[in-house]
Amino acid sequence: MIAGFDQPTPSMSSEFPAQPSPHASLENRFGALFEQAPVSIQILAADGRTLRVNHAWEELWQIRAGSALMAHVFSADYNVLTDPQLVAGGITPYLRRAFAGESVAIPAVRYDVAALGGTGPARWVTARAHPLQDSAGNIVEVMLMHEDITERVAAETALRVREERFRSLVMATSQIVWTNTPDGRVLEDSPSWRAFTGQTYEEWKESGWLDALHPDDRAPTAALWQACVAQRAVFETRYRLRRADGTYRWTAVKGLPIVDAGGGVREWIGANTDIHDTVLAQAELQEQDRRKDEFLAMLAHELRNPLAPISAAADMLRSGAADPAAVRRTSEVIGRQVRHMTSLVDDLLDVARVTRGLIQLDNERVAMADVVAGAVEQARPTIEARAHALAVTGDAAGAWVLGDRHRLVQVLVNLLNNAAKYTSRGGAITLALTQAARTVSIDVRDNGIGIDAELLPHVFDLFTQAERSPDRAQGGLGIGLALVRHIVTMHGGTVAVQSAGLGCGCVFTVTLPVLDA
């Protein structure tokens, strides 16, 4: 039998040398083939004991001839049908089929010879069990051949770990990762795309992903994608992508063609990164720059306007031909223009203090009635110059606040002057006071040009101003309302604005906490 490869003793003759029998020669050849085979072979008896192993088996399991472990493997104490590792690995049923007469392919199993007392490394193997029968069809032995797949399993495991790590990384970031076919179609699912957009796989496959883009971005994006696919060029752009909640978010997109060994495109791999907040911030920075540019131009205009009447007055005074009345009028012109320029410079200094956080309050117990009276007194010349009607309503006699009287007057003067400047001549302005248990509110209402809905959220930002009109030559610098908000906030109050739109006027409401009586 192949298990023993018994070597028969040749018969001896005194006259002729003994000739090896054909049977012995065949056994020798099979024995040599068995030992030199590159595949691990283990011959098992019909009851599961080990009868013989080849050199490749010894190398695979690092079990050497003459060792105690080899003796154990060949002893009656070891049987492959009861080996705990093979039982636990689900291999035993396959072996029993082989012992029943079936040639069986055995699935991969990890076997560690340390469990038997060996020192060799654990190996992953697959095997084939083939029954050997005698002429009567009885199973006399089973040949078990092992294939070492340890390196392949290690490579597959490493690949699987990398893929799992990649998927985990994708899920942990805000990026949307996708793959496309060489011709640019979507066939493979993208969980991150579905999670962001809410599209099902059926909705986004092929070219359905374009439906999730903002309508204004679909055509240019599709054209660019088709051009990149045709040219095998990097696809890089940005577009607005509809989120699952229906809102659109700006995303930066980059897709790369993956080239195979033959130089063709195997697939496209790309990612979308949410950059919505960055885009909005950049737009806000650009808007701020635009406002600053407009402010500088406005400042130059505002500072140059008073120079012409001052220069004319100076020329008249220089001539010495003016009568006392003319000199008085000229002096009034100079004084009025100087006051205007001083106001502009004061506003500039205030805005500089605001941006640097240097405004300080001189807090004291202040009667709101005094604040209102002071503001009306200062704003009245501007209001009367525009022929507006001013009405003061409400009673603030019992309202006291902790604050800086000068700064609170400045708040109301800015609001009254703002109403006067943005209201056509002959308009109506109302200052109304309302006192509650813990607060006092001051409404400044006008029937002027109103505020556009797009401008409304920004009226308290620095350098924000409505468009000038021919009827409103003195428009100011667009910093008064920013000062108002800052001063009111420093007093623990709030300021708000309401307007139904252009031509509908507006109302500014300042609310301050009052002191206990």
Give the number of other Cβ atoms within 10 Å of residue 261's Cβ.
6
Q: What is the pLDDT of residue 287?
A: 76
Q: What is the pLDDT of residue 335?
A: 85
- Helix, strand, coil shares of the chain, percent, nearest 5, are 45, 25, 35
* Selection from 363, 444, 443, 361 nearest residue 400 by Cα: 363
Give 96-140 pLDDT, tens digit per residue.
999 999 999 999 999 999 999 988 889 999 999 999 999 898 999
Sign, CA dihedral 357-362-367-370, equals negative
Q: Distance between CA 432 and CA 186 in Å, rounded? A: 64
Q: Distance between CA 265 and CA 255 in Å, rounded? A: 13
Q: What is the pLDDT of residue 463?
A: 66
Q: Which domains does the chain have, with CATH numbers?
A: 22-153 (3.30.450.20), 173-274 (3.30.450.20), 359-513 (3.30.565.10)
Query: What is the pLDDT confidence band of residue 501, given thresholds at 50, 70 and 90?
Result: confident
More confident residue, 474 or 153: 153
**Strands 139-148 vs 123-133: parallel, antiparallel or unpaired:** antiparallel
Q: What is the pLDDT of residue 7?
A: 35
- Token pair, residue 468, equals 């000038």
Query: What is the pLDDT confidence band of residue 471, given thresholds at 50, 70 and 90?
Result: very low
More confident residue, 315 or 19: 315
Mapped onto helix, strand or coil, the DSSP state of residue 207 is coil
Mean pLDDT value across the chain: 86
The string of DSSP letters for 347-362 reads HHHHHHHHHHT-----
Q: Distance between CA 221 and CA 239 in Å, rounded? A: 8
For 359-428, give the secondary structure using H, E and C. Answer: CCCCCEEEEHHHHHHHHHHHHHHHHHHCCCEEEEECCCCCCEEEECHHHHHHHHHHHHHHHHHCCCCCCE
Mean per-residue pLDDT, 275-282: 89
Range among 8-12, 72-76, 160-164 with highest mean pLDDT value: 72-76
Give 426-460 pLDDT, tens digit per residue.
999 999 999 988 999 999 999 999 988 888 888 88
Q: What is the pLDDT of residue 168?
A: 64
The percentage of residues in the chain with a pLDDT greater than 90, rounded to a whole number, is 56
Give 4-61 pLDDT, tens digit per residue.
343 333 333 334 445 555 656 667 777 888 888 889 999 999 999 999 999 999 999 9
* Selection from 409, 398, 386 nearest residue 491 by Cα: 409
- Phi-psi map region of 479: left, alpha, beta (phi>0 left; psi -120 to 50 alpha): alpha
Distances (CA, A) of 409 to 146, 153, 439, 463: 96, 82, 17, 22
Longest dimension (CA), the chain: 169
Residue 267: is its pLDDT beyond 80?
A: yes
Mean per-residue pLDDT, 288-306: 76
Q: What is the pLDDT of residue 419?
A: 94
For Cα atoms 506, 512, 516, give the angle at the middle one, nearest 5 degrees. 150
